[in-house]
Each structure stands twice: as structure tokens, then as C-alpha cells.
Amino acid sequence: MNKKLKDTMHIFSFEFQRFIFYKRWMLISLFLIVLFFTYLIGDRVLVFTINQKISANVWDVVFSTLGSGSMLFLVLIPVLLLFISDIPAATNFEEFVLLRLGSRSKWLWNKILILTVSIILYLIILLIIIFVAPSFALPLNNAWSEMALKFPRYSYLNPQIPATLSVTSAFIKLIVLLILGWFGVGLATITASLFFNSTSLGFLFGVFINLGGYFAYKGDIPYRFVNFFISNHILLNFHSFGEKNSLYPPYSASIIYWVIWIALFTAIGFLICRKKDFLLKKVAS
């Protein structure tokens, strides 16, 4: 392995371990918060199936948790923002990292890599809880349940999804949207932190984006502007899967939306890095 690349990966490994150690209590809090809401959602699914005399499985809890706009915008994204918002925070150690890497662009790539791994770790923790916790009361199989087929909207699915996609395919599409969306919002938060020279203002910028998505999800934004907000591009049930004249965008349009979003904020971030003297003007916490 190239020595410079080896040094860069060594610094990333050390900095990421330091970041996770600093966030260890937040990870424990995340576990408890998601476990609590998964219990509530699982209980909701069980009560509904008993009342309707139909069957359900773990997938109903998975899609109800990760596909719910209220859960996403009021719980999952705010917790994620708290988790990642201070990635670019300035410390004496950050000065050492910048000097050791010898490049502002490498420093930013290091932060983007930390963001990426943090989001994957966040998602893994969520999936472990969401799959394991309801499995004590509901079966896990590779098929849509009666609940999803007969009452798809109660599982936060639009009727096209169980009619045209397998449960595995729908899950993969959901995860892709979440990873791209969370990475896009996280990248915008980090970029704003660098621009405002403050992780607090960066966090507020992320909250602003999230609230915009929530208000669009609730219908408080005029419809002609809705597709500019993140809600229609991060929620699986807000997509069209083959239906003509659908009000929802096709899945491919949301992939393009996030690619453009990520490319834009990456370019802005590197532009800011080129002009910022990190040793004289630190990113404040």
C-alpha cells in the first residue's frame, strides 16, 4: 500500500475511534430510543392484526419504522444530526490532523469518510434493533404479510409497492434512499458548519432542511414546490412504481436528486476548504 495512503487511513482509523468513543453515550441513548419506538410500533401492528384478524410479520414493523414520515423527521434524522453535526469541530487534535495530512482537500475527504462510516454504523444499529426486537412476537419470512397486501398504507407502503416489488427488493430500495438521504443531509450539515465556522449553526441548518421535509410531508408546502424538498425523495411510499399519471416521482428521479444534492454540497465544501485558514479560524463548537 502507498505510504501516503497508509498514513491517511491510519489517521482516519484513529480519528474515527476517537469520534466513536466521544459519542459512546449517544450510541447507548440511540439504542434505547429506537428500542422504545420499535416496541410502540410493534404493539401497534399486533393490535391492528388482532382487530382485523389478519397476519403480520417483522417486515411490517420494519417498513412502519423506517417508512414513517413522522418517525423519520421527528426521531431518526434529528438523532442522526446530533450524532454527526460536530464531525468538523475544531480542536488542537484537528490542527494535528490537518498538518499531518498536509492538504485541506484530504482533511475534508477524511471528514466525508467519517460521515459515511458513521451513517452506516447508525443504520446497522437501527436494523439490528428493528429486526430483532419484534421477532419475539412476529415471524420473519421472505414474503409480504396479509397486512401489507390488504392494508399497505398501514405499513407505510403505497399499494404499488407490494403489487410490483418483492419484500426484499422494496427493502433494498428503502435502504438506498435512507443512506443517500442521510448522507446528503449530513454532508449539507458539515458544509454549513464550515461555511458559518460553527457546528451549532451547521446543526441548525440540518434541522432547517429536516423541518422543510417534515412540513412538505404534512402537506403544508404548496404541491408545486414539494419535489424540491427531501420528503418525496427519502420516503419509499412517496414514489411511483409503474403507475401512470402518479402524483409521486419515479424512484430513479430520487436517485438523481440525491446524486445532484451530494455533488453540489461536496463541491461547495471543497470550495470553502480552499479559502479557509483552519489554523487561524477554527470551526467553533
How many whole angstroms separate alpha carbon 123 and alpha carbon 84?
13
Domain assignment present for residue 262? The answer is yes
Taking alpha carbons only, the member of 142, 146, 174 closest to residue 255 is 174
Other CB atoms within 10 A of residue 181 CB: 23
3-class SS of residue 95: helix
Q: How many domains is the chain built from?
A: 1
Domain assignment present for residue 24? The answer is yes
pLDDT in the model for residue 256: 96
Domain assignment present for residue 90? The answer is yes
How many whole angstroms separate alpha carbon 69 and alpha carbon 72?
5
Other CB atoms within 10 A of residue 52 CB: 14
Domain assignment present for residue 280? The answer is no
Domain boundaries, position 24: 3-275
Q: Quick: pLDDT tens for 162-217.
A: 999 999 999 999 999 999 999 999 999 999 988 888 888 999 999 999 999 999 99
Domain assignment present for residue 282? The answer is no
Q: Quick: pLDDT tens for 113-138.
A: 889 988 998 999 999 999 999 999 89
Domain assignment present for residue 283? The answer is no
pTM for the structure as a whole: 0.87
Look over the chain and give the mean of its residue pLDDT values, rounded to a whole number: 85
Domain assignment present for residue 222? The answer is yes
Provide the residue-wise pLDDT of the chain in tens; the chain has 285 residues: 555 556 566 566 666 666 666 676 777 888 888 889 889 998 999 999 999 999 999 999 999 999 999 999 999 999 999 888 777 665 545 555 555 555 667 778 888 888 998 899 899 999 999 999 999 989 988 899 999 999 999 989 998 999 999 999 999 999 999 999 999 999 999 999 888 888 889 999 999 999 999 999 998 888 888 889 999 999 999 998 877 777 788 999 999 999 999 999 999 998 987 776 655 444 444
